[in-house]
Amino acid sequence: MKVIIVGGVAGGASTAARLRRLDENAEIIIFEKGKHISFANCGIPYYCGDVIKDREKLLLLTPAQIDAMFNIEARVEAEVIKINREKKTVTVLDKQSDIEYEETYDKLVLSPGASPLKPNIPGINDERIFTVRNVPDADAIKNYIRKNNVKNAVIVGGGFIGLEMVENLKHLGIKISLVEGATQVLAPVDSEIAAQIHNHLREKDVNLYIFDGVKSFETDRDLTINLYSGKQIKTDLVILAIGVKPESKFAKNRNVGGRVQIHSFVHAGFFSSHDSASENFRISGKARFARGTGIGKGEVYGIELRKGRTYRKGGDEPAKGAERTGSSDPDGSPSGMEGDQRR
């Protein structure tokens, strides 16, 4: 059996490792469009804040190491750009040589993860505005702070990543402002808990702009953020942490709709893991992203690949280890619940 895995970080790498433990003879190839596989993405904010000082501690496995340990081939800077399900092939772009080639498969696992949202806001492509997804993003943030003597920073988005960036840039002595469009930070928690977090942030001298959003960025010389409330914030640096969208452009080539449907069915021969997947919310019937624990899903899909499973009947409960930590509609808004359905 030849298995191709698209994406080599949490979901993809754990799927590959689990499958190898179950099948010593399978040919396993990971395609990762970035420069690194299986890096510690949860540590990236702490590397930005110099809490983690050694960059190498973020890099858990290299392609050479995963080959030596598990006999798994990992090709980095290799982007899957097309899937041909009839021929059971993928088209791969080697980003180093700019050459395209085809690779066949018996089973295909899609685990490309998600990319940060960058809405179409005037000025958003300024070089002083950053997102946080991978090690090169962290390198860019650290280099900019060091070279430009950053004194003020604005974090847009008060979710987990946004708050971690607040904590870590504050650790560097930078004056922080936090902009959150909702009525509280950390949307999954109750308002009483969020209120305690708001108080703690203010105690730490963080400027909070709650229930306010970014209307535009002025980027002539100074970087100025215009909020919908009419307020303006001058800053040296902006971190966007407002959510994610599925990293699955290649899926659109096969009419998968930009994401891969799970739980109602899995196409014969291929599986989907982590942030590229969607499912239907059972109450409203609306599609939502099935964001969850990539490592847990990797364990599940490794087992299913070994057993030769190629579908699930509609209505099944999510497999153990694939529980969601949060969900949203395909446009990035909160999951397909309306009114009392949220209860």
Same fold, 2-115+244-328 and 118-240: yes
**From the candidates 42, 51, 69, 195, which is the catalytic residue?**
42
- At 122, the amino acid letter reads P
Residue 207: CB atoms within 10 A of its CB come to: 14
The rounded distance, in Å, linking the Cα atoms of 271 and 299 is 13
How far apart CA 255 and CA 235 sit, in angstroms, is 42
Q: How far is it, in rounded angstroms, from Cα 22 to Cα 180?
A: 45
Supply the pLDDT for residue 46.
97
Among 48-62, 100-114, 240-254, the minimum mean pLDDT is found in 240-254
Q: How many CB atoms lie within 10 A of CB 219?
A: 16
Tokens coding 161: 């990543």
Say whether domain 118-240 belongs to CATH 3.50.50.60. Answer: yes
Has 48 been annotated as catalytic? Answer: no
Domain covering 2-115+244-328: architecture: 3-Layer(bba) Sandwich (3.50)
Q: How many C-beta atoms lie closer than 10 Å to residue 173's C-beta?
A: 8
Show Cβ contacts of residue 221 under 8 Å, excluding neighbours closer than 6 positions: none
pLDDT surpasses 60 at 336: no
- Whether the CB-CB separation of 252 and 286 falls below 8 Å is answered with no
Rg of the chain taking only CA atoms, in angstroms: 21
Using one digit for the tens of pLDDT, what is the confidence trace for 295-331?
455 555 555 666 554 433 333 343 333 333 333 333 4
- The residues spanned by each domain of the chain are 2-115+244-328, 118-240
pLDDT tens, position by position, 164-202: 999 999 999 999 999 999 999 999 999 999 999 999 999
Give the pLDDT confidence of 1-35 residue by residue, as tens digits: 999 999 999 889 999 999 999 999 999 999 999 99
Q: What does DSSP say about strands 270-272 and 152-156: parallel, antiparallel, or unpaired?
A: unpaired
Position 245 scores a pLDDT of 85
pLDDT score at 17? 93
Q: Taking CA 186 as the corner, what is the angle to CA 184 and CA 191, rounded to the nearest 5 degrees?
A: 50
The string of pLDDT tens digits covering residues 251-294 is 665 544 445 554 333 344 556 554 555 556 666 766 655 554 44
Torsions phi, psi of 224, nearest 5? -125, 135
